[in-house]
Amino acid sequence: MSELSRWLDRRADEMAELLMELVSIPSENPPGAERERCAQVLHDALARLSFAPSFLEGPCVRGELGEGDELIYFHGHFDVVPAQSVAQFQPRRAEGRITGRGTADMKGGLVSMLYGAAAARDLGLLEGRRIVFHGVCDEETGSTDGSGKLQAAGLIDPTAIAMLTAEPTGGVIWHAARGAITLRVTIAGREAHVGHVQLGENAFEHLIAIAAPLADLSHELLERDSMLVIGGQAGAGANFNVVPGSAWFSVDRRFNPDESLEEELTKLQRLIASTAAARGASVEVDVLQAQPSGVTDPSSPAALALAACVGGEPTFEMCPGVLDTRWYSQLGIPAFAYGGGRLDVSHGPDEFISESAMRACASVYASFVGRSF
């Protein structure tokens, strides 16, 4: 057993207890509840591990270790998707697993990052380098209040040599992430009593017609492994006996690195506008999110160094969704996701993380910090 493994094994209970404390806080997003309390627990953990912690707007948390010139970012989020049951915020530790909402995505990863960084410091792996930890609060709803504000405020240094985030990759390395476009399409009509339906203009009928070509486009895109979801959220009308005077639906587009943000956004806007015009419908399109994709060359020195730390023959893949790596790769920083959780259980009713996987992931983080590239 290596010295690094022994260091982490001695702290297995500490790591488990911190994860269980984080999981017990229902930091569901939406609506963004309990973010301040969860941020405080992370801040306190950073302080115990002798980071230099501070709060950022959001609320977000920052911590720093080391004094070297070469900077590596450790990045993670502490918001979680809404639970299927409140019991998911009562973490259970049994048979080498910790079960509960956010264990895999990605509070377990946060614990791995903190202890991986601390191990790197204590075992002398930080020479010439420093680690900055960012814990953000809104990854599950687009990251604009967390990572987006970090980037906009100049708090992400583009000279950093690498960035890692602890998403539940299940043993592979995600080196690329899709871009994201989110729209809200609102259609105007005219209300009328059901007894005088001929006097109204049914906004819901317009919605059906406007959504239909988008549904066709969704199926076309899927054939080339690109994604579009319509109607993830939708609404119409004031009551069942009133012609709906307004209707709205969401459009969520996740496009690949070889597709252009500008072209994909324009395509959606033109399709909606042309269909509405053909019906004489009044439509308004609000752009809620428009983020480019992000990609890091898997043959870059940082990528090869991470692969060597993972061991075996690690696979580089594009994340099935979007990643906070994009905020860093957009600045030219080699950015990757690698975590001990499993994507197939994340967001589910029996979400869990293996304690051994959590420590193994922390070992990879520490080794990466100490590896030349």
CATH number of the 3-177+293-369 domain = 3.40.630.10
Structural domain 179-291, CATH architecture:
2-Layer Sandwich (3.30)
Mean of per-residue pLDDT scores for the chain: 96
CATH 3.30.70.360 domain position(s) in the chain: 179-291
CATH 3.40.630.10 domain position(s) in the chain: 3-177+293-369
* Phi and psi torsions of 263, nearest 5°: -65, -40
For 69-108, the pLDDT digits (tens) are: 999 999 999 999 999 999 999 999 999 999 999 999 999 9
What is residue 58's predicted lDDT score, i.e. its pLDDT? 82
The token pair at 236 is: 């119409």
Helix (H) or strand (E) holding 363: helix 355-369
Distance of CA 253 to the CA centre of its chain: 15
pTM beyond 0.85: the answer is yes
**If you average pLDDT over residues 342-357, what whole number do you get?**
96
| Residue 44: Cβ within 10 Å count | 14
What is residue 25's predicted lDDT score, i.e. its pLDDT? 98
Whether residue 113 contacts residue 51, with contact meaning beta carbons closer than 8 Å, is answered with no
What is residue 313's predicted lDDT score, i.e. its pLDDT? 85
Bridge partners of residue 70, in order along the sequence: 129
What is residue 115's predicted lDDT score, i.e. its pLDDT? 98
**If you average pLDDT over residues 232-250, what whole number do you get?**
97
What is residue 57's predicted lDDT score, i.e. its pLDDT? 84
- The single residue listed with the structure tokens 């293996």 is 354
**If you average pLDDT over residues 154-160, what whole number do you get?**
97
Give yes or no for residue 324 having a pLDDT over 80: yes
Share of the chain above pLDDT 90, in %: 94
Instruction: Indicate the pLDDT class of residue 131, thresholds 50, 70 and 90.
Output: very high
Lowest mean pLDDT among 144-153, 201-210, 274-283: 144-153
For 167-220, the pLDDT digits (tens) are: 999 989 999 999 999 999 999 999 999 999 999 999 999 999 999 999 999 999
The token pair at 302 is: 């940082």
What is residue 279's predicted lDDT score, i.e. its pLDDT? 96
Give yes or no for residue 244 having a pLDDT over 80: yes
The residue among 179, 330, 328 whose CA lies nearest residue 252 is 179
Give yes or no for residue 144 having a pLDDT over 90: no
What's the CA gap between 103 and 132, in Å, rounded? 22
Instruction: Indicate the pLDDT class of residue 8, thresholds 50, 70 and 90.
Output: very high
What is residue 142's predicted lDDT score, i.e. its pLDDT? 83
What is residue 198's predicted lDDT score, i.e. its pLDDT? 96
What's the CA gap between 230 and 222, in Å, rounded? 13
